Amino acid sequence: MPRISKQIKIHGFSHASGYVDGLSLGGGLPVLIQTMWKDRLSHSDLEGEAAEALIARIEGLKRMGCALLRFAVPDLASAEIIGNLASMVSMPLVADIHFDHNIALRCLDFPIAKIRLNPGNIGSRDKVEAVLSKAAARSRPIRIGINAGSLPQDLRAEADSGRLDTAEALVRAAERELAVFDEFGFRDVLVSMKASGIADTIKANRLFAQRSDVPLHIGVTEAGPLIAGLVRSTAALMVLLGEGIGDTIRLSLSDTMEKEVIAAREVLAAAGEMAGEASSQRLASNCGVRIVSCPKCGRSSFDTHGFTDRWQPRLYAMEKNIAVAIMGCAVNGPGEARHADIGITGLGDKVLIFRHGEVVRTISSAEADAAFEEELGRF
């Protein structure tokens, strides 16, 4: 039976810093996608053309299906920058904080939607209480983030000695931090327990899901570059999502944020395809354009790779439930891809655009992008 977690509200903010309708997660609601900003920002990034480009990229991530965007906040100067940015974009921003509780307190002065921290490295109980008290007063949820590489010293020692496996150590660390939250009556909390190992990630989240209804953010940490990271993350997430475990997800890749979002969408779509009817709705929230493309071979007369690279971000940003085929030759064109709502393929020195197997345009390679855009606009 699918796991049912409790629901948590993540408030959105208007540009005037007032509440607007926000996100809800948990409780069987659709799984949300998250990514993390890859670079450190400066005050100049919030000015002029740099700000326009920054905002455009963040809004583009949102259109592609990203629901939450996390930023590392290593110091108070970063808190000011991310805090000001939060009032400039419609995407809910998450502040990732370690070691200094004053950074968390400062972030809570801004319209930052959620705080990610580990109470175990924030400091004394009074510091933790100060953060929880202020977060409660401002209705901001907190994610307790536990990583296998940064376990509390005693649990790490037990895991290193073999007296405790890594998965159980992760769960105990999470339960220890949740106990602190319970003492202070803080309930707007979710948990993540991430390891670089697939088996450890699956086991830890399974164990926690059996013991608690606290919402879970799932993912494999330090998963690797694009191909390795995709394989490792998919192996773990497909298992967990198939068991109804996970309320938000991130595929942590040594690659762009856009590719993380696309990968997460595809994992959710695949999990939804595999799931039974009871689970498919919570995994189908990120449905939209589905791209199918051939791998390219010696018969190809159309640059499928280049065309896909150019069009992929735009296609994933479209709010249309359609299948798009990008093929290289007549063999893999209108015939094998006749199920596609729209497709493009090569045929000698020409390019064909087709709908459900029927050719609607025959053009030159130079005209391909413009013609494809015109036909796409007819939906």
E strands along 149-231, which residues?
Answer: 189-194, 216-218
Residue 297 domain-assigned (yes or no): yes
Asked whether residue 298 carries a pLDDT value surpassing 60, the answer given is yes
The verdict on 115 and 185 lying in the same domain is: yes
The verdict on 248 and 133 lying in the same domain is: yes
pLDDT, tens only, 325-374: 998 877 767 777 888 999 998 888 889 999 998 999 999 989 999 999 99
Residue 243 domain-assigned (yes or no): yes
Residue 223 vs residue 112, higher pLDDT: 112
The verdict on 364 and 221 lying in the same domain is: no
Angle at 89 between CA 99 and CA 252, to 5 degrees: 50
Cβ pair 5, 247 in contact under 8 A:
yes
The mean pLDDT value of the chain amounts to 89
% the chain with pLDDT above 70: 93
The verdict on 150 and 267 lying in the same domain is: yes
- Cβ contacts of 218 within 8 Å, gap of 6 or more: 192, 194, 201, 205, 236, 237, 240, 241, 245, 246, 248, 249
The verdict on 322 and 273 lying in the same domain is: no
Q: Which of 215, 275, 284 is nearest to 245 (CA)?
A: 215
Residue 10 vs residue 238, higher pLDDT: 238
Q: What is the DSSP letter of 175?
A: H
The verdict on 87 and 162 lying in the same domain is: yes
The reported pLDDT for the residue numbered 371 is: 93
The verdict on 204 and 268 lying in the same domain is: yes
Residue 107 domain-assigned (yes or no): yes
Residue 58 domain-assigned (yes or no): yes
Q: pLDDT category, 10, cuts 50, 70, 90?
A: confident
pLDDT, tens only, 13-40: 655 445 555 788 888 889 999 999 999 9
Cβ pair 183, 125 in contact under 8 A:
no
The reported pLDDT for the residue numbered 35 is: 97
The reported pLDDT for the residue numbered 273 is: 85
The verdict on 146 and 188 lying in the same domain is: yes
pLDDT, tens only, 238-285: 999 999 999 999 999 999 999 999 999 999 989 988 886 656 667 765
Give me the torsion for CA of 256, 262, 268, 272, rounded to 10°. -160
> What does the alpha-carbon distance between residue 136 and residue 132 come to, in Å, rounded to a whole number?
6
The reported pLDDT for the residue numbered 285 is: 54
Tally of structural domains, the chain:
2
> The domain spanning residue 265 has which CATH number?
3.20.20.20
Residue 355 sits in which domain range? 290-376
Indicate if the alpha-carbon torsion angle 23, 71, 69, 219 is positive or negative.
negative
Q: pLDDT category, 151, cuts 50, 70, 90?
A: confident
Q: pLDDT category, 297, cuts 50, 70, 90?
A: confident
Residue 47 domain-assigned (yes or no): yes
Number of H helices, E strands in the chain: 12, 15
The reported pLDDT for the residue numbered 17 is: 47
Instruction: Report the pLDDT averaged over residues 118-144.
Output: 89
Asked whether residue 143 carries a pLDDT value surpassing 50, the answer given is yes
The reported pLDDT for the residue numbered 14 is: 56
Least confident stretch, 115-119, 245-249, 313-317: 115-119
Q: Among 229, 261, 283, which residue terminates a domain?
A: 283
> The domain spanning residue 345 has which CATH number?
3.30.413.10
The reported pLDDT for the residue numbered 91 is: 93
The verdict on 116 and 197 lying in the same domain is: yes
Q: Which of 117, 59, 85 is nearest to 317 (CA)?
A: 59
Residue 2 domain-assigned (yes or no): no
Instruction: Report the pLDDT averaged over residues 88-106.
Output: 94
Residue 366 gets the label, from left (phi > 0), alpha (psi -120 to 50) or beta, of alpha
Q: Among 263, 283, 303, which residue terminates a domain?
A: 283
Q: Among 220, 253, 283, which residue terminates a domain?
A: 283
Q: What are the strands of the beta sheet with 342-347, ordered from one edge?
A: 290-293, 323-326, 342-347, 350-355, 358-364
Helix (H, G, I), strand (E, B) or coil at 70: strand
